[in-house]
Amino acid sequence: MEISWIQAAILGLFACLASMPGLGGTSIGNYTLGRPLIGGLVCGIVLGDLRAGILVGCAMQIVYIALVTPGGTVSADVRAVSYIGIPLAMVALKSYGLDADTTEGSALATSFGTMVGTLGTVLFYGTATINLAWQHIGWKAVEKRQYKKLYLVDMGLPWISHLACSFIPTLVMCKLGASVVDAIKTALPMDGIAMKTLFTVGALLPCVGIAILLKQIVKSAADFIPFLFGFVLAASLGINLVSATVVAGMFAIIIYRIKMLSVRKPELAGGIDDEEEEI
Amino acid sequence: MEKKLSKKALLKSFHNWYYGHLTCFSQEHMQTFGYLCAMLPLVEELYQDEDEKANAMNTYTAFFNTEPQLGTVIVGMTAGLEEARANGADDVDDETINSLRAGLMGPVAGIGDSLVVGTVIPILLGIALGMSTGGSPLGAIFYIIVWNLFAYFGMRFLYFKGYRLGGKAVDFLIGAQGEALRESVSTLGGIVIGAVAATWVSVKTSLQLFNEEGEAYLTLQDKLDEVFPGLLTAVVIVVCWFLMAKKKMSPIKVMLLLVVVALVGVLVGFFDPQLVY
């Protein structure tokens, strides 16, 4: 599978829009186009294999299901995951003759994507650093009271940062990728230790993604119960995700009502106390 | 005559924030320029005098960074404050505006990160993943539509809530009702994430013990699944959580550790993806 210059360029453009801090804005860019699932849709359409794109996107989405960037620190770069990692993983799957819908297929995709995503953090820091130059122009404009220039600084000039840190890296990596994948394939046979490890890592990595999310929710051991409850719903009872969400919603409502009762308790409790005293 | 911000200026301000809050991000100033762009249409409408304009804009050159979706409420509040200042309110000056912004951006970032990025988005993605099983684009399309409608109208709601109610707008988030909402949403999140993990993550061991005739008398994976389906997957997730939450390891370090675990596991035969050409 070969990626043409035009295809690579389109992916490059999406990388500009999708990154954090991207030119699509956070809601449309980072949180929509940057999510690997959506990246999979875009890559699937651009590369002409929608099914494989979506499947690879799904596999990688689990690893990055909770990509929180507190205070602007990142552990992976979404543009690299979604627009370099996914196309390369699709190429690799084709080249190895694996179907993306198999465990091996998604393990390979996950390893590839995570590797690229971690290396891609350099792109994040690159973009942010170049933006400093535009902000310098911005402060000058504020001093001179040329406020209209702020729009150019905030929404125009960063395109140059992205040309250097999103467009060109994506273009080059997608073009070179196919030959790199072939080289890896000849160097590392599938039944060798290296590939076995790579595939095993691919199966283990999603655990980190889920664990990052749990870090937000779980403060004490008891907080694991909702998580395990959901796990049991799917693993033991075979309930699908949409249905599990409805069940979860039911519990959420119950908790909310109970909590709100205790918020209003001072007023209510006041009335009850009086009656008790009379008895 | 009392100055009143037009709906048009407010909407322009909101859209500048909605789109531009992070487009010119740097580690040093983060969302500061986005904030300046959001305030500009308001300042231009409220003040005719160049000195007054400059004075107002200078207020917003102070550093700003928060969770941008939920943080919209802060932008809306400052829009209300700026209007009050233009009408000559004595108690609104640079200091009140900036101490409000500085005081709120931390808590709002904390709530926003766990509520929006840590709960709402993963839940939507979890449902979307379920709908995309087998390579269907349906889930991706579902996520694009639902998330963007939620983000746009949610942020717009917060902006105007902040503008109209001022300080009261955040009571909802920080007060007891916000606490109840957070708790119920995080339970919802926990259950859905559990289902996502069980559906999409699969850690399996290939360890088998053979008797003298060469028959497998123990297939570890089957035994583990008899105890609790997906036990190994759940255990690895909990261990990762433990390393990050309790041992304060960074995600990248945990990932590297997993590479080592995988290598050792493959060498001793605990893991074997059973690849064939």
Instruction: Assess whether B219 and B177 both reside in one domain.
Output: no
Which of the listed residues B148, B179, B196 is the one where a domain comes to its end? B196
Q: Is B64 helix (H, G, I), strand (E, B) or coil?
A: strand
Query: Which pLDDT score is estimated for A269?
Result: 53
Chain A positions in Cβ-Cβ contact with residue B140 (cut-off 8 Å): 37-38, 40-41, 54, 57
Chain B positions in Cβ-Cβ contact with residue A231 (cut-off 8 Å): 194-195, 197-198, 230, 234
Chain A closest CA to B133's CA: distance in Å? Answer: 8
Instruction: Assess whether B179 and B42 both reside in one domain.
Output: yes
Question: Is residue A274 predicted with pLDDT exceeding 50?
Answer: no
Question: b or e along B214-231 (b: 16 or more beta carbons within 10 Å of the residue's beta carbon)?
Answer: eeeeeebeeebbeebbbb
Q: List, for residues A145-200, the tens digit of each pLDDT value.
A: 889 888 999 889 999 999 999 999 999 988 888 787 777 777 777 677 877 887 78
Q: Cα(A164)–Cα(A159) distance, rounded to whole angstroms?
A: 9
Q: List, for residues A107-118, the tens digit of each pLDDT value.
A: 888 888 888 887
Chain A positions in Cβ-Cβ contact with residue B41 (cut-off 8 Å): none
Residues 174-203 of B with CB under 8 A from A: 176-177, 179-181, 183-203
Instruction: Assess whether B242 and B256 both reside in one domain.
Output: yes
CB-CB: which of B21, B134, B275 is closest to A26?
B21
Count of CB atoms situated within 10 Å of the CB of A199: 27
CB contact under 8 A, A135 and B29: yes
Examine residue B27 and state whether it is found in any structural domain, yes or no.
Answer: yes
Q: Is B209 helix (H, G, I), strand (E, B) or coil?
A: strand
Which among A68, A149, A69 has a CA at the least distance from the CA of B33? A149
Examine residue B276 and state whether it is found in any structural domain, yes or no.
Answer: no
Query: Which pLDDT score is estimated for B275?
Result: 62
Indicate if the alpha-carbon torsion angle A9, A11, A12, A18 is positive or negative: positive
In this complex, how many residue pairs, one in chain A and one in chain B, have their CB atoms less than 8 Å apart? 381
Pair B20, A25: CB distance under 8 Å: yes
Chain B closest CA to A1's CA: distance in Å? Answer: 18
DSSP state of B30: B
Backbone angles phi, psi at B217, to 5 degrees: -100, -15
Residues 133-162 of B with CB under 8 A from A: 133-137, 139-141, 143-144, 147-148, 151-152, 155
Examine residue B67 and state whether it is found in any structural domain, yes or no.
Answer: yes
DSSP state of A120: T
Examine residue B161 and state whether it is found in any structural domain, yes or no.
Answer: yes
Averaged pLDDT of chain A: 84
Instruction: Assess whether B80 and B177 both reside in one domain.
Output: yes
Domain count, chain B: 2
Chain A closest CA to B51's CA: distance in Å? Answer: 9
Q: Cα(B231)–Cα(A228) distance, rounded to whole angstroms?
A: 10
Instruction: Assess whether B32 and B103 both reside in one domain.
Output: yes
Q: Cα(A83)–Cα(A268) distance, rounded to whole angstroms?
A: 56
Chain B closest CA to A231's CA: distance in Å? Answer: 4
Of the pLDDT bands very low, low, confident and very high (cuts 50, 70, 90), residue A33 is: very high
Domain that holds residue B256: 201-268
CB contact under 8 A, A245 and B68: no
CB contact under 8 A, B194 and A61: no
Query: Which pLDDT score is estimated for B167?
Result: 67
Greater model confidence, A252 or A277: A252
Instruction: Assess whether B163 and B216 both reside in one domain.
Output: no
CB-CB: which of B113, B131, B183 is closest to A68?
B113
CB-CB: which of B68, B131, B139 is closest to A26?
B68
Question: b or e along B101-124 (b: 16 or more beta carbons within 10 Å of the residue's beta carbon)?
Answer: beebbeebbebbbbbbbbbbbbbb
Which of the listed residues B151, B173, B196 is the one where a domain comes to its end? B196
Which of the listed residues B196, B220, B246 is the one where a domain comes to its end? B196
Question: Is residue A16 predicted with pLDDT exceeding 90?
Answer: yes
Examine residue B2 and state whether it is found in any structural domain, yes or no.
Answer: no
Query: Which pLDDT score is estimated for B276?
Result: 55
Chain A positions in Cβ-Cβ contact with residue B58 (cut-off 8 Å): 142
Examine residue B71 and state whether it is found in any structural domain, yes or no.
Answer: yes
The two structure tokens encoding residue B275: 């690849």
CB contact under 8 A, B273 and A25: no
Instruction: Assess whether B115 and B141 both reside in one domain.
Output: yes
CB contact under 8 A, B271 and A196: yes
Query: Which pLDDT score is estimated for B174?
Result: 66
In this complex, is the C-beta atom of B69 within 8 Å of any C-beta atom belonging to chain A? yes
Query: Which pLDDT score is estimated for A167?
Result: 94
Instruction: Assess whether B33 and B156 both reside in one domain.
Output: yes
Which among A74, A15, A157 has a CA at the least distance from the CA of B37? A157
Instruction: Assess whether B213 and B191 both reside in one domain.
Output: no
Instruction: Assess whether B70 and B143 both reside in one domain.
Output: yes
Examine residue B152 and state whether it is found in any structural domain, yes or no.
Answer: yes
Question: Is residue A52 predicted with pLDDT exceeding 60?
Answer: yes
Q: Cα(B56)–Cα(B163) distance, rounded to whole angstroms?
A: 17
Instruction: Assess whether B155 and B36 both reside in one domain.
Output: yes
Examine residue B273 and state whether it is found in any structural domain, yes or no.
Answer: no
Q: Cα(A156)–Cα(B23) distance, rounded to whole angstroms?
A: 9
Instruction: Assess whether B233 and B189 both reside in one domain.
Output: no
Walk along chain B (277 residues) and give the pLDDT tens digit of each residue.
Answer: 678 888 899 999 999 999 888 888 887 788 888 898 999 999 888 888 888 888 888 888 888 888 888 889 899 988 988 888 888 877 788 888 888 888 788 778 777 777 787 778 888 998 898 888 888 999 999 999 999 999 999 999 999 988 888 767 667 666 677 778 778 888 888 888 888 888 878 888 888 888 877 777 888 888 888 888 999 999 999 999 999 888 888 888 888 898 899 899 988 888 887 665 4
